[in-house]
Structure 1
Amino acid sequence: MSTRRRTTAALTATATLIGAVAVTALAGPAAAAPPDGRGPTELRVATYNLSLNRNAPGQLVADLSTTTNAQAKTVAEVIQRANPDIVLLNEFDYVPDNQAVNLFRDNYLELSQGGADPVEYPYAFVAESNTGIASGFDLNNNGQTVTTPLAAGYGDDAFGFGAFPGQFGMAVLSKYPIDTDAVRTFQKFLWKDMPGALLPDDPNTAAPADWYSSAELNVFRLSSKSHWDIPVDVNGRTVHVLASHPTPPTFDGAEDRNGLRNHDEIRFWADYVTPGTASRYIYDDAGGTGGLKPGSSFVILGDQNADPLDGDSVDAAIDQLLAHPRITDPLPTSEGAVEAATLQGGANLTHEGDPAFDTADFNDNPAPGNLRADYVLPSRDLRVLDAQVFWPLTTDPLYRLTGAFPFPSSDHRLVWVDLRVHS
């Protein structure tokens, strides 16, 4: 039975120092550090699904090899205007050797866009994504196993939906050093190894939880992209960036395989930050076991594809994080989201949630309407100073950066939170 709310490889990761000094841009207190390196640091952390995915391998590198790609210029300006110290980029195609990330930094972020100050990120983390990696199985149970990238139906049979390996990947950029040796990735963690996993059920059979065969479950990965624990050294204090991008809870059937996977991808972080037995089952790609060390500071980042009240996710999926005793929900808002819900109408008129919290501008006719999908969720020991969604009003000159469909940047909005980190 579906629990949907309503119908509405080997690690190839690097942290790279490019010998640059972070630039202070237009956005308030971000990167404010004490001059002697002691005392509290004001840290701005952001997540941004910038939709820089492309339809074929090599296209993103080609687009970023120039300085003139319109979408890249626009999303770069959004980042420059917000000026986060750490930012997770969702839907940024994975390319080995940091090639795409380096081009984005060199040709877009480090050049002024639209009059905004350039921004430099000396450190980056990039690793493989499960998107577009062939599973060798018929995961959507349509009678065909597609193993050729770019072929029709290939994405549905991949470990994570993608037309080719790396499509819809992730990257993290930082002004502060990344402790590369201490990074943990969970790309290959198997869904079946999560205790009480919500494995999907074939509604046409009597057996429980049998949408996937035993052979499929023995290789099926929980992460549709990956889960990363990236320790960042913020003036002597380690802050763990917990990055992910769970699958959308749609594009399936009565078995709700994507909705259930979305729920458990979100649950992974809830378990990971819980000391003791709740996280004991977890293992990383290097063979390490267990969750986050008790007392560690962290920020969970990413497009979680789940709204607390509206949309298609499993009931209370995102509440696993929002109601967690170790996590703070800063509740970032924007006036632009309220205006958009009013102007666009449609599904937005029937939503239970406050549109001020929306972070994504989705189809309103017939559904799902605008939703809160993107989150910056710090541990409770990090004091929240401010939090916003970058969604300008139509009367704001910066509205040109978000606009209306077809969007000049992305259907998601950058979300940032200012934190006080004590050394």
Structure 2
Amino acid sequence: MLEKSFALLYFLKQSKNEGSKKYIYLRITVDGHPVEVSTKKQWWENRWDQNIGRASGTKHDVQELNFFLSTLENKVFQARQKLIEDDERITAEAIRDLVTGKDTRKMILEVFADHNKQMEALVGKDYADGTLERYETSLEHTKAFIQWQYQVNDLYIRKLDHFFIEQYAFWLKTVRNCNHNTTMKYLSNFKKIVLICVKNKWLQGDPFTNFKMSKREVMREPLSEWELQAMINKDFENDRLNNVRDIFVFSCYTGLAYADVKKLKRSEINMGVDGEQWIFTPRQKTDTPCPIPLLPVALQLLEKYAHYPKCINQDRVLPVLTNQKMNAYLKEIADLCGINKVLTFHLARHTFATTICLSNGVPMETVSKMLGHTNLKQTLHYAKTLHSKIGADMASLRQKLAVNPKPEKECGKGILEPVKQVPTVPKFNYVLVAS
């Protein structure tokens, strides 16, 4: 944005000691707003021409000072030109900061990269590896979007506005082909960087203010009892499919997420308060403890892999593959078992919460504790009540009502009493008559 007026003026500033040299200052005025910059130079008032803003005379020291002042003036014009090229608002403060090397204008990717470096240093203390990986992916997406939208390698923080956020969301959904909720996750990561800029006053306002960040509810239907049993009973010709099935079923009976099953050690399985075997492991995602009593199926699987070479060598309970490979094999397992659902490892966690626990009367609070949730709202996302549970509950209610009907003298005929005839109201036909 070009300014309406622009002026430069060198002048001598009064000093405390009369008769001594005075400091030379440069006044930069943009649209009537001045700022002063010290040149760090001193000069005599009787050898200064205020009309031209330069030292007067032809001596060597005069020529040397005037050359310095002209060079500084050129830097001012270069700073103004840079602001124009960067499509930045031209202000006296912005020019002064560029000239003096105190430019506080931050770059988006620069701030994002600094944030990730600090996060990397705190992995294992405040953050998990997966969290850092998500922010690194978000940084790469932001970098690609800026190049796509603005054809530059980075952008000043001041350029962040509502339009930037809207276009970023559009790019994620179209160019990167992300679904709505994944788009919101990446924008949520980016919003953290934006708020850092706002708190440090590098950005005047939050561009997310009028942008809706709500996620859409995704209905994940867990495995039913017969689907889970069909998977357990299936004997695959491929040993790797059998291993993946076993690990998935173990998660269905413990509720452990992929990362927690993968890192689970024998030392994290001990005797609980009831004298039975329990899992005591913190969630990798949140470091929240998960006390989980082991059900018979899970215990059988632990025994099956107790002497498995890979488990012994890696000090792990189960031979877990990468998440990508596990999910690829699970799709094949679903086809072979006749399960018409998109099978991913995370579905085991939903199956544990709903099919194994809630459908069998385990209280929500207990399920929440075993899942490692910090509040019940998180558990509700997993605990979608099955239609079969609704049917079973209502069947139980019907039976109770049939066994213990209320006495007739208390309830009377009620809704079974015949409906009295209500006098009919004559109907009138209204005819529209042309006036």
TM-score of the pair, normalised by structure 2: 0.22
TM-score of the pair, normalised by structure 1: 0.22
Higher helix share: 2
Q: Which has the higher contact order (CA 8 A, sep 6+)?
A: 1
